[in-house]
Structure formats: C-alpha cells, structure tokens
C-alpha cells in the first residue's frame, strides 16, 4: 500500500508541476497548425543551401510531432519541392523538440534545460543539413519512388486515433493533415469563432489523441521510477552522476525506444532526481524522441543509407557534445531547478493555476484515452519490442568485433571509462575502496589506487584534514550575506518566547569509512544534530539569559550536547566548535524587543547612576561630618582657651578691684556702656553751660542733626575731644561718646 501511495503522490507532483505548461504547449500547437501551412514552409525550403537548412530547422522546432509522425509531414514537404538537406534538417529538429515539450521542460526541469534543449535540437538539425549538402549526388538520392512506401510504413508503425489511418482529420468542415501536424495550404476563411474552434479542436483533440497514450505512459513511468528508486540511485549505486558513460548508456537506451518529446520529459526529470547527470538526461531527451527502430528504418528508405548515417551521427555527436557542456557549465543549475525539489502548493495565483491545470489536463487525458482506447498503443508497444528484437537478433558477433568497430569503441569508451577504475587520493584525504559492497581498504594514503568500476566496486576519497563549517539557521549568499532559514532559526525558550538563533558548527572527519559508507551527507547530518541540540538548550533557558549573561553558558552546553551525540553514536566526525552568531527576536517583533531591551538597559543605567550618586553623596556627607567634627573640636579648644584667658583676666580684675573698688567699678561701667553703644550716634545734653536746652550731636563724618534741632553740625575741636577723652574732664552726669578706649576714634565733624 505504501508503494502504491508513493507512486500516486509522485504522479500527482508531476501533474501539478507540468500540466499548466502542457496545456499552454497544446494551445500554441493548435495555433501553429491553423496558421502555418505546408505550402508557406515549402516555398523557403526548395534550395539545397545553408539558408534552407537553417529555415527547415527553425520551422520544425516548434511543431509538436513525434519521430514517426514527422515522416508524413516530411513527405508532404518533399512533394512541395523541399530539398533533401532541408528535409533532413526538418526530420531532426521537429521530433526532438516542440512548443509542448519546451513548455513542459520549463515546468519540470527549469529554464536552463528549456533553453538548451531546443537550441541543441536546432544546432543538430543544421549540422546534419550542412553535412548533407557536402555529400555528392548518387542514384540513392532518388526518393520519388520510395515516398509512398515510407508513408505506408509510418502508418503501419504509428498510433493514431480511430478514423485517422489516412491522416485526414475533418475539423470544422476543413481537411487537416493530422499526421503532419500542418495545414496543406492557407485557409483564412471562416469567422474568428470558427478558427478558434479549429485551434482548440486540434490542440486539445487531434494532437492530444496522437500522444495521449505515450503521455500517460511517460507520466506513469516517471511516478514509478520516482517512488521505487532512491534519490542517489544513479549517483551512489551506479556511479552515473558524471562523465560520458551515462550519456553512452542513454544513447543505447534511447535509440531503439519510441518516446515522444513530451512523454520523455517527465522521465528525464525523474532520472535527474534520482542522481543521473543532467548531461545524460539531455542526451536522452534528444536521442529518444528523434530515433526508434521504425523511424531509423523509414528514414533509411526515405533519404538513403548515406543520409541515414549523417542523421544518426549528427544526433549522437551533437547530443554528446551538448551533454558534456551542460554537465560542465550548467549541471548544478539544472539540478537546482528540476522538479525534484519539494513541492508545496500555496495560495498564490501561480499555485492555483497549476492546481487547476492539473485537474483540467487529467480530465482531457482521461477523455482522450477513453476515446482512442488502449489497444492501438499497446499494439504499438508490442511492435516496438518485436522490431527491437529483430534488430538485436540481426547483429552478429563477428560484426561487433571487427577492428574498426573495436577501435571506435576504444576511442569512445576507454578514455572516459578508465577513470572509473582509478581512485585518486589527494593530500589531506584518505581513500576507501569497496569490492561487491565489502570494504577492502579504509585508510588509503594519498596516491593512485585501482578498483573495480561501479556497480561492482567503488573508490571514495574523503577529506580528513579539512575543517568544515555548517551554518545553522541561515545560508551564505553569493555576496557574503546571510539568508535566514526560518525553519532552522526559530526556537521556543523556557518562558515561552520565540528566539532567532543562528549558529555555526565546525567539524572534522575522524573515521573516513563511517563517513563514506554510513553518512549520505555529513553536513546535513551535523545540521540535524545541531538543531536537536539547540532545541534542548533553548527550551530550558529564559530568553533574558540567552540575550545576556547566560549566552556563553548556553553555547558551551550546545557544543557539549553535539559532541556527546556524535561520540555515543560513533558517526565518524569530531566536533571542533559550536558558537552562536546571533541571538535575537524574530524579525517580525525585533523592533519591539529592541525597544524592551533598550528600556531594560536604561533601567539598569539609571540604577547604576543612582547608586553612584548615592555613594558620592555618602562620601561627601562623611567628609563634611569629619570636617565639622574637626571644626567643632577646634572651636572647643578655642573656647576653652578663651574661657581660660577670661578667667585669668577676671582674676586680675578682681585683684585690681580689691585694691580700688570705686575706680574699678566706675571704669567697668564706662567700658560696658561704651561696648554696648559702640557705633551708635550719641546725644549729649548738658545744661551746665547754657540756660536753655542744647543738643550736641556726635557722629562720624558730616552728619545732619535730627529734624528740629536748634544747632547745626559743627566740628569737634581737638581740645574738646581731648578733654572729653580725659577722665578728669568728664562730669558725673555726662554721657561719654565712643571715642574712649573701647570704640573707634571720632571724625573731624561734630
């Protein structure tokens, strides 16, 4: 049941990828059939020169005809006057490619092969035509008597829809040449609706009936191959992923088989997906549709044995050269765009169109098969098998071992087959050699070593000195940037936050045998182990810790987890290091997380600033406290000293008073008054010298007497000052001014 399910899934993938392009090709084929008559083509192909050969190749490239269906068209062109060289060019370019096969090639194999395939087909046709021009005329070139026989042979060996044995397909009241795929003459009559109906009837009716059986066979065979064969069958098991040997095998397989250009395309895509080299697949796409046992026989009768040799040599030689060039310059591009990539239908417009086209084409194919039946196609298959058997039985061993044949075989095979017996181990590598699957040598030193060719034996060189780096969560771009792989970069932390982690794991091969035989892709293995370890590390830590102080500890745990897994399972590799390159929020919320992180940083900054300010203020307060304590201690000492001095002065005063108490008391009273009234203007009222009241104003400088004073300010004489400062001149009732010993000297004004 699993096998059947896988076959159905692979078949559905092919229909999904190719149906839209198949329908487009059928539509263009209908337009060509309606608007490109054979009369218009034949007018340009009558001369036996380069221009006719080139035009024949270009005219034939878009026409969707198989290798046998093209023969009636060639006969029609010959009857219209086309030259033999142009006819040979047309016979090659037409079956090798067509608008339907080009569209399908683009859908399944990508743009590189979609361009290379028709270009090489045209080049092959031109080469064959030019060589044909150089051939001298002989009696063998008289074709008129053989045309009827050739056309009849094609009828006998090619499948058509019921009622089409004579290649006449009545469509819309007009006569069509169904076998040729071209209108015999221009017919512009009819309304646009009639012409549109004829285009659709031919493209999705007549043409589909011609190739429905082979399309179904090719799609079904592709599904079976994709489901049964492992992805590295042709590369690892058979060693057909490079070199000329797979191309020669494709020539041997394609020459006798009949498979039209459209039907061979999905088969080639499946072969590339299973490891076959793109160059060998191109050879199959060119040789298979252009040749089969019946076509080779008919072309020989139609053009003669000399041009048959040119026909075969051109197809084989140009296809080999094109295959080698594709492998050398575009092989990786073809592999990258082939349908072997994972198909995930989405909801964009192209995906919806592909899905709808798959259903439409499946319905049309089913309807066509019901209309034409399977008996004709199965009969054609039996005829192909019979003709192949007859061809093989006609071969004689003595014909194959003749010196010219052996020499040609040696020239073609030996230079390309010899490397399949040799293993070159370069410095920094170790060689592993197998014979019938058993390891006969597992640690060969650098040098040249011999072994049986695949699939009997195999030699593998493994880099053991090179340190390899595996990116996790991203891919390196051609310009040195990093392309994020969301499926590998996003992880859930212990506090249920999503974090974007990108890391790099470096490793080195320690056991070449285990790596060569037990690991399909060491980088892919390390990537898977690293992702497993990241899940375990991140899921047990908070997002804040992974962003800040816990990042280094998480890195060490990450590396240890990978090392333990590799060591326990003996994978043959040694982990050198594992580091986080980036650890931040996903891009969709990165700005918000950055704002939060900035706020947290500002909070921490404010806390540190506040703590610093507190420490600064504390230090200042401590210093001020010490300063004030020292000042207080100084004041205390000063006060004690002043108190002691006062005590000594008081003791001395007390002794003086004991000797003369009245005088000492009077002096102390005057000193107290003088100290109290220091700096204050004084009024002295003395009535002993005048009959009326007289105010005497004493002060500093020129002072104005109070309002209402009868006296003006007058200077105080020195005598008065002297008398006033004398103790004997002061009367008992006088008030002394401040010019005594305890106050400043008076000014010159009084």
Give the model's pLDDT for residue 226: 76
361 φ, ψ to 5°?
A: -65, -40
Q: Is the pLDDT of residue 559 over 90?
A: yes
- pLDDT class of 577 with cuts at 50, 70, 90: very high
Yes or no: domain 468-584 corresponds to CATH 3.40.50.300? no
- pLDDT tens digits, one per residue of 396-436: 666 666 777 677 666 666 666 777 788 889 998 999 998 88
DSSP 226-242: HHHS-TTIIIIIS--SS
Of the candidate ranges 359-368, 388-397, 442-451, 609-618, the one whose mean pLDDT is the lowest: 388-397
- pLDDT class of 553 with cuts at 50, 70, 90: very high
Burial degree of 430 (CB within 10 A; 0-12, 13-18, 19+): buried
Give the model's pLDDT for residue 123: 93
Residues 6 or more apart in contact with residue 244 via CB below 8 angstroms: 320, 323, 324, 412, 416
Give the model's pLDDT for residue 173: 33
Tokens of 371: 């209309």
Q: Is the pLDDT of residue 689 over 60?
A: no
Q: Is the pLDDT of residue 735 over 50?
A: no
Mean pLDDT of the chain: 76
Of 222, 3, 21, 37, which Cα lies nearest the Cα of 113?
A: 21
- pLDDT class of 719 with cuts at 50, 70, 90: very low
Q: Is the pLDDT of residue 386 over 80?
A: no
Q: Is the separation of the CB atoms in 109 and 268 below 8 Å?
A: yes
- pLDDT class of 165 with cuts at 50, 70, 90: very low
Range 230-238 average pLDDT? 69
Between CA 120 and CA 132 the distance in angstroms is 18
Residues 6 or more apart in contact with residue 282 via CB below 8 angstroms: 113, 116, 117, 120, 268, 319, 322, 323, 326
- pLDDT class of 182 with cuts at 50, 70, 90: low
Q: What does the DSSP 8-state code read for residue 205? A: I
Between CA 553 and CA 532 the distance in angstroms is 17
Q: Is the pLDDT of residue 742 over 60?
A: no
H helices of 572-696, in order, are 590-659, 661-676
Element (H, E) at 460: strand 457-463
Give the model's pLDDT for residue 589: 74
Give the model's pLDDT for residue 183: 57
Beta partners for residue 490, in sequence order: 500
Residues 6 or more apart in contact with residue 570 via CB below 8 angstroms: 511, 514
Q: Three-class SS of residue 462?
A: strand
Give the model's pLDDT for residue 573: 92
Q: Is the separation of the CB atoms in 176 and 33 below 8 Å?
A: yes
- pLDDT tens digits, one per residue of 84-134: 788 888 888 888 888 878 888 888 888 888 899 999 999 999 998 898 888
Give the model's pLDDT for residue 704: 53
- pLDDT class of 370 with cuts at 50, 70, 90: confident
Between CA 120 and CA 104 the distance in angstroms is 17
Between CA 79 and CA 301 the distance in angstroms is 16
Of the candidate ranges 67-76, 434-443, 465-474, 603-612, the one whose mean pLDDT is the lowest: 67-76
- pLDDT class of 621 with cuts at 50, 70, 90: very high
Give the model's pLDDT for residue 67: 65
Element (H, E) at 470: strand 468-472
Of 87, 101, 528, 530, which Cα lies nearest the Cα of 310?
A: 87
- pLDDT tens digits, one per residue of 446-484: 998 988 887 788 888 999 999 999 999 888 877 777 787
Of 404, 28, 67, 434, which Cα lies nearest the Cα of 199?
A: 28
Of the candidate ranges 97-101, 186-190, 388-392, 673-677, the one whose mean pLDDT is the lowest: 186-190
- pLDDT tens digits, one per residue of 501-522: 999 999 999 999 999 888 888 9
Between CA 358 and CA 370 the distance in angstroms is 18
Q: Is the pLDDT of residue 495 over 50?
A: yes
Of the candidate ranges 306-310, 643-647, 648-652, 690-694, the one whose mean pLDDT is the lowest: 690-694
- pLDDT tens digits, one per residue of 327-356: 888 888 888 777 544 444 455 677 888 888
- 682-685 and 695-698 strand pairing: antiparallel
Of the candidate ranges 9-23, 72-86, 284-298, the one whose mean pLDDT is the lowest: 72-86
């Amino acid at each position: 049941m699993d096998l059947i399910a896988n076959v159905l899934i692979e078949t559905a993938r092919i229909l999904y990828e190719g149906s839209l392009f198949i329908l487009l090709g059928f539509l263009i084929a209908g337009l060509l059939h309606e608007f490109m008559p054979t009369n218009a083509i034949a007018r340009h192909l009558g001369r036996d020169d380069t221009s006719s050969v080139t035009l024949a190749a270009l005219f034939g490239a878009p026409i969707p005809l198989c290798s046998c269906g093209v023969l009636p068209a060639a006969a029609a062109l010959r009857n219209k006057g086309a030259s033999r060289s142009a006819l040979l060019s047309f016979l090659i370019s037409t079956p090798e490619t067509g608008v339907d096969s080009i569209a399908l090639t683009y859908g399944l194999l990508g743009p590189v092969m979609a361009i290379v395939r028709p270009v090489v087909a045209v080049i092959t046709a031109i080469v064959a035509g030019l060589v044909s021009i150089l051939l001298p005329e002989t009696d063998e070139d008289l074709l008129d008597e053989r045309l009827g026989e050739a056309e009849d042979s094609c009828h006998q060996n090619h499948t058509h829809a019921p009622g089409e044995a004579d290649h006449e397909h009545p469509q819309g009241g007009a006569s069509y040449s169904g076998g040729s795929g071209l209108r015999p003459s221009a017919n512009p009559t009819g309304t646009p609706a009639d012409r549109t109906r004829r285009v659709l009837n031919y493209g999705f009716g007549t043409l589909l009936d011609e190739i429905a059986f082979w399309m179904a066979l090719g799609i079904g065979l592709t599904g079976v191959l994709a489901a049964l064969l492992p992805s590295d069958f042709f590369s690892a098991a058979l060693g057909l992923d490079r070199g000329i040997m797979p191309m020669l095998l494709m020539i041997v397989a394609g020459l006798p088989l009949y498979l039209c250009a459209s039907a061979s395309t999905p088969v080639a895509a499946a072969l590339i997906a299973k490891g076959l080299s793109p160059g060998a697949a191109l050879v199959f796409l060119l040789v298979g549709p252009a040749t089969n046992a019946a076509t080779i026989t008919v072309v020989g009768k139609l053009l003669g044995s000399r041009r048959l040799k040119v026909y075969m040599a051109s197809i084989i030689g140009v296809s080999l050269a094109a295959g080698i060039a594709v492998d050398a310059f575009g092989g990786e591009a073809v592999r990258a765009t082939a349908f072997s990539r994972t198909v995930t239908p989405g909801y964009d417009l192209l995906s919806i169109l592909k899905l709808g086209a798959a259903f439409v084409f499946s319905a049309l194919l089913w309807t066509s098969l019901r209309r034409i039946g399977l008996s004709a196609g199965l009969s054609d298959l039996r005829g192909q098998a019979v003709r192949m058997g007859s061809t093989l039985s006609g071969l004689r061993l003595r014909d194959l071992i003749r010196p010219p044949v052996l020499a040609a075989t040696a020239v073609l095979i030996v230079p390309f087959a010899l490397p399949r017996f040799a293993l070159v181990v370069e410095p920094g590598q170790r060689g592993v050699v197998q014979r019938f699957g058993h390891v006969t040598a597992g640690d060969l030193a650098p040098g040249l070593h011999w072994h049986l060719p695949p699939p009997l034996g195999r030699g593998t060189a493994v880099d053991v000195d090179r340190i390899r780096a595996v990116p996790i969560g991203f891919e390196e771009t051609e310009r040195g940037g990093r392309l994020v792989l969301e499926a590998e970069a996003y992880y859930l932390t212990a506090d249920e936050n999503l974090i974007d982690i990108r890391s790099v794991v470096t490793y080195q091969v320690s056991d070449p045998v285990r790596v060569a035989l037990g690991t399909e892709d060491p980088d892919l293995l390390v990537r898977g182990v690293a992702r497993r370890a990241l899940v375990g590390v991140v899921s047990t830590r908070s997002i804040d810790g992974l962003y800040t102080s816990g990042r280094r500890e998480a890195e060490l745990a990450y590396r240890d987890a990978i090392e333990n897994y590799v060591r326990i399972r003996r994978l043959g590799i040694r982990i050198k290091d594992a580091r986080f390159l980036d650890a931040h929020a996903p891009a969709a919320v990165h700005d918000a997380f950055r704002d939060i992180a900035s706020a947290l940083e500002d909070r921490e900054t404010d806390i540190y600033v506040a703590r610093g300010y507190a420490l600064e203020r504390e230090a200042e307060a401590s210093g001020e406290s010490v300063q004030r304590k020292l000042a207080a201690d100084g004041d205390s000492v000063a006060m004690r000293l002043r108190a002691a001095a006062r005590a000594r002065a008081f003791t001395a005063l007390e002794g003086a008073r004991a000797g003369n108490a009245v005088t000492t008391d009077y002096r102390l009273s005057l000193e107290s008054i003088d100290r109290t009234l220091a700096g204050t203007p004084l009024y002295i009222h003395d009535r002993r010298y005048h009959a009326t009241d007289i105010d005497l104003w004493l002060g500093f400088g020129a002072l104005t007497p109070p309002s209402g004073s009868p006296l003006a300010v007058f200077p105080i004489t020195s005598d008065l000052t002297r008398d006033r400062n004398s103790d004997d001149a002061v009367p008992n009732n006088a008030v002394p001014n401040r010019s005594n010993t305890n106050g400043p000297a008076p000014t010159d004004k009084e």
